Amino acid sequence: MIVLDGNRMDGREATHAELKRKLCLPDYYGGNLDALNDCLGERAERELVVIENAAAFLEADGAYGARLLRVFADNGLQVLLD
């Protein structure tokens, strides 16, 4: 299980920093949704992703947050909003 803190995801740059840290993404990670999709596609394991304080994350990131959730779903990751 991967636990993300929605309070730390208050903009695109902060969101990708949290993703890189918690998902152990490689140094070459580009910090955008296309790069995230590529990195997740390379992972064999399909873990549960929990986003704590999800309301704060979705309020701060709006439509971008919804697109992020779609990238998770497209790569077979189940997301729980807490």
Determine the straight-line distance between the first and last CA of the chain, rounded to whole angstroms: 14
pTM for the whole structure = 0.92
Residue 53 DSSP class:
T
Which pLDDT band, with edges at 50, 70 and 90, does 73 fall under? very high
What is the CB neighbour count within 10 angstroms for residue 32?
Answer: 11
What pLDDT is stored for residue 45 in this prediction?
Answer: 82
Please report the sign of the dihedral spanned by the C-alpha atoms of residue 20, residue 23, residue 25, residue 29. negative
CA-to-CA distance for 17 and 53, rounded, in angstroms? 16
Domain limits at 29?
2-81
What pLDDT is stored for residue 18 in this prediction?
Answer: 97
What pLDDT is stored for residue 75 in this prediction?
Answer: 95
Structure tokens at 9: 């995801």
Domain count, the chain: 1
Coil, helix or strand for 40?
Answer: helix
CATH number for the domain that contains residue 51:
3.30.370.10
pLDDT per position as a tens digit, 33-68: 999 999 999 987 888 999 999 999 999 988 999 999
